[in-house]
Amino acid sequence: MATSTKICLTPANGGVFSAPGLSWASARKVSEVLQHDMENHHIYLNNIEFHDHIVHFMLTIWALGASPETIQAQYERESQRQRAAIPRDEAVIQSFSDKKECLKHMYQEEHYSNYLAFFQRVIGEKGVSAVIKEYLFGGDELAESLLSRMFAGLVHPIIHLGFGIEFQQPAIVAQALAQAAVHQDYLADSFYKPAAASAKSHKTSKSLIEIIEEMRANQTIRDAAVHGDTDVFAPGILSRASEEVIESISQWTVPENQIHHKLIEMINTAIYWTATAQNPRKQLKLDFFFIHAVNLSIFFKAFMDLPYLSAANKARLLEMKGRMDLLIWASRKMPDPQPGDVLSYPIHHGWPEVFAKSYLHPTDDGHLAKFVRTVAMAEELCRPHEVSGKKLPVSGDMWLQIGNIAVDSVGLIFKDLWVRGSGFPESWEKFGPRK
């Protein structure tokens, strides 16, 4: 049984999307390696805040049907570059029961182990649902800070939370909360709070595609994205065009009676602008920043299905996701979409082959597998809307075409797997021409 300190997967824990025939042997193996990771590694793999992706990687390839041998081999490869866990400090852990003390040590990565132990204990006492409601949606200073930090670090903490929620693993939820606690909160005051305030002046919600078209036509926003900007947006695009960006992204709002419709729109649109962000003169590549918007999307199906979250909190969380997507996209200079590159792409592999290619990749750390799993899930989610005649940016054969593009385009060398900033000509210089 999974607890706040023990990871335990069974074939029933396939999440919102999985390949058929998940085995007990793979379930035992993924549980074993994730337990080892939790007990022995820091959440950052180095001293410049690159993330330990083992939870993401292992759970994704487990869900896609990887064998115990593949899970073990990929874990061994990835674990070699991880930092050792920092010893816990019992006095500090106990002090976190005072929420002011909990806030005081945030963005101090040396306290990750202490935050992990604290959230493991709180979840063990109160349960996941109570902790999520209190520490993310409680409305006090700590909850507001943790919720904002969930989207920091190129959305890694909330991706981690999604894995814990989707696969029903309280220990991974504790990891996610601890991970958020040691991230910088650079989004609340510069982005989320002004966006929420601006949204109050909008009487209707525009679609993401409508907002994207308006932003692309705004030269101030386009010029505000500079090659070399990081994913810490406050000193980048938000320092150069804050008013214009906030005004645009705040037009994405989620009425409580349209949550499911907006969920489908968000996932479909994120996949569309990621897959079509190509350079017509260069070989096909997916944008490393953009794939994070896609890879986070799958968990919003799980979040929106949570019975203990109110409709107001679900709508707010979905608004935060859509606005973050628009910010990530704008920060890479808003590349013009090339839908023809998807529509004309030959389908060489079915989904089982796409999945296998993703989880057997010799240098990727799970980003590829997460991407194709999300696209496959999104196809299932969006198909009923296609049948009903509702027009979506991605439809028909495009799903499998995008899956094929993903596994065909990554190559083998780690530094060349992705283009990093598809709207910048400089980002494409190292890649070869179209054949």
For the stretch 265-302, pLDDT in tens is: 999 999 999 999 999 999 999 999 999 999 999 999 99
Q: Is residue 109 part of a domain?
A: yes
Average pLDDT of the chain is: 96
Averaged pLDDT, 421-433: 96
Q: Are residues 406 and 266 in the same domain?
A: yes
Residue 111 is classified by DSSP as: G
Predicted local confidence at residue 414, as pLDDT: 86
Give the Cα separation of 374 and 370 in Å (integer).
6
How many domains are contained in the chain? 2
Q: Are residues 246 and 369 in the same domain?
A: yes
Predicted local confidence at residue 245, as pLDDT: 98
Predicted local confidence at residue 204, as pLDDT: 81
Amino acid at 133: K
Predicted local confidence at residue 350, as pLDDT: 98
Of all residues in the chain, what percent carry a pLDDT higher than 90?
92
Q: Which residues, in sequence order, are bridge partners of residue 41?
A: 84
Q: Are residues 158 and 193 in the same domain?
A: no
Residue 76 clears pLDDT 80, i.e. is over it: yes
Of the residues 184, 214, 244, the one at which a domain ends: 184
Beta carbons of 93 and 24 less than 8 angstroms apart: no
44 three-class SS? strand
Q: Are residues 130 and 198 in the same domain?
A: no
Q: Are residues 136 and 256 in the same domain?
A: no
Q: Which residues, in sequence order, are bridge partners of residue 84?
A: 41
pTM: 0.97
Q: Is residue 283 part of a domain?
A: yes
Q: Are residues 208 and 164 in the same domain?
A: no
Q: Is residue 434 part of a domain?
A: no
Find how far residue 46's CA is from the centre of its chain.
20
Beta carbons of 429 and 371 less than 8 angstroms apart: no
Q: Could you tell me the residue range of the domain that residue 262 belongs to?
A: 189-428
Q: Are residues 79 and 107 in the same domain?
A: yes
Q: Are residues 275 and 380 in the same domain?
A: yes
Tell me the pLDDT band of 343, cut-offs 50, 70 and 90: very high
Q: What are the tens digits of pLDDT across the range 217-257?
A: 999 999 999 999 998 999 999 999 999 999 999 999 999 99
Residue 411 clears pLDDT 90, i.e. is over it: no
Tell me the pLDDT band of 435, cut-offs 50, 70 and 90: confident
Q: Are residues 147 and 74 in the same domain?
A: yes
Query: If we measure between CA atoms, which residue out of 264, 247, 175 comes closest to residue 211?
Result: 247
Q: Is residue 302 part of a domain?
A: yes
Predicted local confidence at residue 421, as pLDDT: 97
Token pair, residue 236, equals 């980048």
Residue 408 clears pLDDT 90, i.e. is over it: yes
Mark out the alpha helices in 227-310 (DSSP H runs): 237-240, 242-249, 259-275, 288-304
Of the residues 184, 213, 229, the one at which a domain ends: 184
Give the Cα separation of 198 and 134 in Å (integer).
26
Q: Is residue 26 part of a domain?
A: yes
Find how far residue 349's CA is from the centre of its chain.
25
Q: Which residues, in sequence order, are bridge partners of residue 419?
A: 287
Averaged pLDDT, 347-374: 97
Give the Cα separation of 111 and 196 in Å (integer).
31
Q: Is residue 296 part of a domain?
A: yes
Predicted local confidence at residue 205, as pLDDT: 83
Of the residues 120, 152, 184, the one at which a domain ends: 184
Predicted local confidence at residue 390, as pLDDT: 74
Q: Are residues 32 and 89 in the same domain?
A: yes
Q: Are residues 152 and 230 in the same domain?
A: no
